[in-house]
Amino acid sequence: MNRQEIEKLLQAVRAGRIAVAAAADRLRRLPFERVGNTRLDTHRELRTGVPEVIFAPGKTDAHLAALARRLLSRHGAVLVTRLEPSRAPRLRRALPGARWNAAAGLLSARRGAAPAPGPGAIAVVSAGTADLPVAEEAAGTLEHLGWAVDRLYDVGVAGLHRLLEVTPRIDAARAAIVVAGMEGALPTVVAGLTARPVVAVPTSVGYGASFGGVAALLAMLNSCAGGVAVVNIDNGFGAACFAHRVCADARPDPAPARRTAARRAAAGRER
């Protein structure tokens, strides 16, 4: 249950359409719900603005489907991350209409309209096409959360002219998620070219002594450009959640308009 659903429920109680006891019973399920040995945090979206997401590894197909259906019924949307391609068709059968992003290993389903996007887009920038799975995890998560995404791929520092060509599009975005492996230099360069917040994502892509992305991680943590936030290796999902929180204040909040409409309706009844 998200904020909008709770407000609708309270308005229905106020209008006398739902009994107080029935509303209390629905709110009783708010903090969490048990599905097998999992406690789903159905309160998370209300607290943080980002609903609970299902991490697919370690779960059976039946358990995964049960969790996804429950979150879909409670939030009207569900996102499954790190889903193996061989398992995707079975979960899609359990969630008719679900969208599958094979490059990212993301499966998303939604009932009704997506959240209203904020002004502009969030840029997802990748150094090379080998970084695409992590970049797509970030992009797909942002789209699930209701953001427009500007994908700017294969613009690494080995060919700096490619990055300079797309810099105006980064400037036009609300924030930039920058994904790079190898020596991890791209986020520093981007942060030196734009005033937009930069979220750096090291990937495990690289030759020789890249140590599975540790070299890129350390380079990003030691960036000489100010204003760079760094997430863990291959964590496109975490980068998307961070960018969503940074940009959330720009999203239109429908709550004031709903409250104004409710007050006018109540005033009309009183007259």
What is the per-residue pLDDT for 118?
66
Residue % of the chain over a pLDDT of 70: 80
What are 127-172's pLDDT values in tens digits? Answer: 999 999 999 999 999 999 889 999 999 999 999 999 999 999 999 9
- In angstroms, the CA 129 to CA 110 distance is 29
Q: Which residues pair with 178 in a beta bridge?
A: 125, 200
Tokens 């007259």 belong to 271
Average pLDDT over residues 40-53: 72
Token pair for 10: 């309270």
Q: Give the integer Cα–Cα distance in Å for 130 and 12.
A: 51
**Bridge partners, 33 (sequence order):** 40
Alpha-carbon distance values, 31 to 46, 53, 151 (Å): 10, 15, 36
Topology annotation, domain 122-249: Rossmann fold (3.40.50)
Query: Which one is predicted more confidently, 252 or 142?
Result: 142
Q: Are 125 and 142 in contact (CB under 8 A)?
A: no
Quickly count: other Cβ atoms within 10 Å of residue 16's Cβ.
7
Q: Are strands 38-40 and 198-202 parallel, antiparallel or unpaired?
A: unpaired
Q: Helix and strand tally (H, E) in the chain?
A: 11, 11
Residue 225 has what DSSP assignment? Answer: S
pLDDT over 70 at 58, yes or no: yes
Instruction: Give the integer Cα–Cα distance in Å for 91 and 240.
Output: 23
Task: Convert the pLDDT of each residue in 3-45 to its tens digit.
Answer: 667 777 788 888 888 888 887 776 666 666 666 676 666 666 6
Q: 35: which strand partners?
A: 38
The pLDDT value recorded for residue 214 is 95
Written as one letter, the residue type at 37 is N
Mean pLDDT of the chain: 85
